[in-house]
Structure 1
Amino acid sequence: MRSWIVRGLGMAVLHAAAAVALAKVTVYQPTDLTVLTVVVLALLVGAAALWSAIDAWLGLDDRGRVWFIAALVSGPVAGLFTVIGKSLLVDQTGLSALGSALTGGAAFTALLVLVPAGLGLFVGTRIGGQGRSEEDSGQFSSAEPAG
């Protein structure tokens, strides 16, 4: 299976579960959401950053493109899963919510995956580069003949 499918669907399920959980909490405690919303957003950002940093540290091939496509996939899929989850578990949300979930909600989710993933790729590359020798990374030093 392509790695962007796993990352995109994984992040979509995580974002949809967080949105449905926040909606469920809103039903019972509509005024006490500020701290919970910040914590949930921090966990979502941390998950994308950590997963992409691990990919960079392990040296996943074409990891920037993988995370870019995963972010684009996770947006609309998370919007669809959020509408389905809210309709089944929270308040019988209908098809009228699907339009905004697939446009603005999808764009927000894609950015909430893409930006931390870019940061995670940057950090993971820096961490991964320090622990490897030149032979492990496939680079030749200037003293060795190439060929």
Structure 2
Amino acid sequence: MPPWVARGLGMAVLHAAATVALAKIAVYQPTESTLRTAVVLALLVGAAVLWGAVDGWRRLPDASRGWFVGALVAGPLSGVLAVLGRAAFVDQTGISELGVALTGGAAFTALLILVPAGLGLLVGGRLAQPAQAGDGATTEPGKPSPRPRRPKVGPTG
């Protein structure tokens, strides 16, 4: 399975669930939504940054393309899932909301995934990986490997 499928589907479901949850909360408390919206946006951005950082840290080949295509897939898919979720669980939203979800909503969601994931890839790619077994870092668990010896250099002249 290509990496963009998992990233696109995962982030689409996460964004759609957050949209439906915010809509459900707004039904019961319509005036107190600013803080909740900011917290949900921060969590969504954090999820993309963290997942992107893990991909960068693991040095996955072609991870940036995977995130790019995944974000482009997640935008419209998240919009469709959010409209379906709102129709089923919140307020009987109709087909008329689908146009907005597939244009502006999809673009916003794609950017809300792509930019933080790119930042995560950049940061994760700069993090050092732990020493792997067999690379000569240690001889036994808990004992450091001997230092490599410098070659002897004779007198010049």
TM-score interval, smaller chain: 0.7 to 0.9
Structure 2 residue aligned with 1:6: 6
Letter in 2 for 1:7: R
Work out whether 1:35 is the aligned partner of 2:35.
Answer: yes
Asked if 2 retains the 8 angstrom alpha-carbon contact of 1:83 and 1:93, the reply is yes
Identity over aligned residues, as a percent?
Answer: 65
Letter in 2 for 1:57: W
More helix by share: 1
Structure 2, unpaired ranges of 5+: 136-157
Please show how residues 12-31 of structure 1 align to structure 2 within 5 Å.
Answer: 12-31=12-31
2-side partners of 1:128 and 1:109: how far apart? 31
Asked if 2 retains the 8 angstrom alpha-carbon contact of 1:58 and 1:128, the reply is no
2-side partners of 1:2 and 1:121: how far apart? 17
Structure with the greater alpha carbon radius of gyration: 2
- Point out 4+ residue stretches in structure 1 off by more than 6 angstroms: none
Structure 2 residue aligned with 1:66: 66
Structure 1 residue aligned with 2:147: none
Cα distance change on mapping 1:8 and 1:128 into 2, 3 Å: farther
Letter in 1 for 2:32: D
2-side partners of 1:96 and 1:102: how far apart? 11
How does the TM-score come out when normalised to structure 1? Answer: 0.87
Question: 1:106: Cα distance to partner?
Answer: 0.1
SS at match of 1:31: coil
Structure 1, unpaired ranges of 5+: 137-147
1-side partners of 2:70 and 2:119: how far apart? 15
Structure 2 residue aligned with 1:87: 87
SS at match of 2:31: coil
Cα distance change on mapping 1:116 and 1:46 into 2, 3 Å: same
SS at match of 2:22: helix
Asked if 2 retains the 8 angstrom alpha-carbon contact of 1:56 and 1:128, the reply is no
Work out whether 1:116 is the aligned partner of 2:116.
Answer: yes
2-side partners of 1:128 and 1:42: how far apart? 26
Question: 1:2: Cα distance to partner?
Answer: 1.2
Equivalenced residue count is: 134
Question: 1:3: Cα distance to partner?
Answer: 1.0
Question: 1:14: Cα distance to partner?
Answer: 0.2
How does the TM-score come out when normalised to structure 2? Answer: 0.82
